[in-house]
A and B are shown apart, each in its own frame.
Chain A
Amino acid sequence: MTTSPMTLPADARVAPDAAPKRIFGWLFAVAILAVMGAYVRAIYFTPIEAQQGAVQKIYYLHVPAWIACYLAYGLVAIGSVINLWLHDERADRLAASAAEVGILFNTVGLTVGPVWAKPIWGTWWTWDARLTSTLFLWFIFAAYLVLRGAIESPAMRARFSAVLAILGVLLIPFIHLSVYLFRTLHPMPIMLQPQALVNPPLSPEMETTFLVSSLAFLLLCVALVVSRYRLATLRAAADDAEGVGQ
């Protein structure tokens, strides 16, 4: 840090300008407003479902959270493949940012799901194919974030985490199929039908609320990934500057 700016290599001098000034931009503000709007609509302007009652409204949080989660994990997979292929550190930053956002929505989905399941299925949790594979997605991406934290070298961190993410994508179908086989060969309580969550009878108002909420969550997902990406860029710039100063 004591070195004069004149002695810095060209890249390091450009980096602070190339790095974003703010982490949260207007997109994030719009996303927060959209999610608030979706909540207000879901709570006050959407009819209560006849059979399940008020608890069904979790649907407007639960399913959009999963859609956002899958979008984020999809971005991790894309970022990882691009990183291994082109060795571009921006792809690694995208993957890391999307992984953190993905695990956030994954946690939301896994938390609010049981709240709905307890009154409707009569149990907090069941080892159904969908539930099990999403739980293991959480485990894989938790390991992904721990792995990233345990490696100093940025290049090695990028390669290792990309390998884990790609193998994780290959793993999920196997978990899903195994549990599916496990459950279909065994008798199962009639109440525990996950299809009921996927395909509920929706009235037009409910459908609109669901669409609004899904769009709001997708927007929030993108806004969070963008913000986290900016933070990663700032950090990389700071690391570079520090490295030069040493």
Chain B
Amino acid sequence: MVRARDRMSVRTPPGTLGAALLIARKDLAIEFRSRTAFLSSLVFAVLALSIFYFTWDESIVTPQDRAPGVLWVVLAFSALLGLQRAFSLEEHERGIDALLIAPIARESVYLGKAVGNLLFLCAIQAVAIPALAVFYNLRFNGQLAVVAGIVLLAMVGIVAVGTLFSAMAVNTRLAELLLPMLSLPFFVPILMDAAQATTRVMAGRPLSEAWPWLRLLIAFDLVFIVACTIAFPYTLEE
């Protein structure tokens, strides 16, 4: 890691994407060494899955029927826990200042943080979704790859807006308290589209039935990746 950075410093500064990947790699390396955020988000996700199991009467709604709903609620809230990490990491000892004076585009800070967050959240889901399948006795009807694809699309949207808002929230007096209030309204269309799509796919319906929802989800991802990348430089201290 250190060697990689030294190599970069003697060459010309990396381009927007190159710098973004370096930032993502730095964040993931920090997370990989401490694992605190990963473990707490993961334990939260699995804990929430088990709590949700007991909030419905089994004889009225079967676990298989409520599993997609539970998946998306747990996913949204564990994502919030992970997103808070991205910029509070930099506030500590003012790491953000180093990023801001680095000869890289502001956009690459956003993209780097977003890629780091995306991989972080995917790692949590890689454990949480199998846990859901085990606890709720789920069968994916051979649609596991499709469900994973929908989760990825939803994660991209959540990370696009969540990364921007965590950059904003960390600079306010309320800090982490503000993040859910800012992000959750933006998660609503993502969760609605993704939950509807997964319900259909997991019920063994053809993909064409989930397509209108997926189309909206893809549109959301594209619009908000562009909008948040443009907006990000305005959310940094000057």
Contact = CB atoms under 8 A, between A and B. Distances in A.
Nearest to A175: B189
B174 A163 contact: no
Interface in B169-210: 171-174, 178, 181-182, 184-186, 188-189, 192-193, 196
Interface string A165-197: 011101100110111011001000000000000
- Binding site of A, secondary structure by majority: helix, strand, loop or mixed? helix
B234 A159 contact: yes
Interface residues of A, number: 31
Interface of A: 84, 136, 139-140, 142-143, 146-147, 150-152, 155-156, 159-160, 162-164, 166-168, 170-171, 174-175, 177-179, 181-182, 185
Interface in B55-109: none
A152 B173 contact: yes
How extensive is the interface on chain B, given as a class? 20 to 34
A170 B223 contact: yes
B192 A160 contact: no
B22 to A, nearest CB: 25
Interface of B: 161, 164, 168, 171-174, 178, 181-182, 184-186, 188-189, 192-193, 196, 212-213, 216, 219-220, 223-224, 227-228, 231, 234-235, 237-238
A162 B234 contact: yes
A197 to B, nearest CB: 23
A181 B184 CA distance: 20
B189 A178 contact: yes
Contacts of B181: 142-143, 146
B189 A174 contact: yes
Specify which of B196, B231, B237 lies most central, judged by the most chain A CB atoms within 10 Å of its CB: B231
Contacts of A185: 196, 212
Contacts of A164: 168, 182
A139 B186 CA distance: 10
A157 B117 CA distance: 25
Contacts of A152: 173
A67 B227 CA distance: 27
A163 B231 CA distance: 6
B191 to A, nearest CB: 9
26 contacts: A142-B181, A143-B181, A143-B182, A143-B185, A150-B172, A151-B171, A155-B238, A160-B172, A162-B234, A163-B235, A164-B168, A166-B231, A167-B164, A167-B227, A168-B185, A170-B224, A171-B185, A171-B189, A174-B219, A177-B189, A177-B216, A178-B192, A179-B192, A181-B196, A181-B213, A185-B212
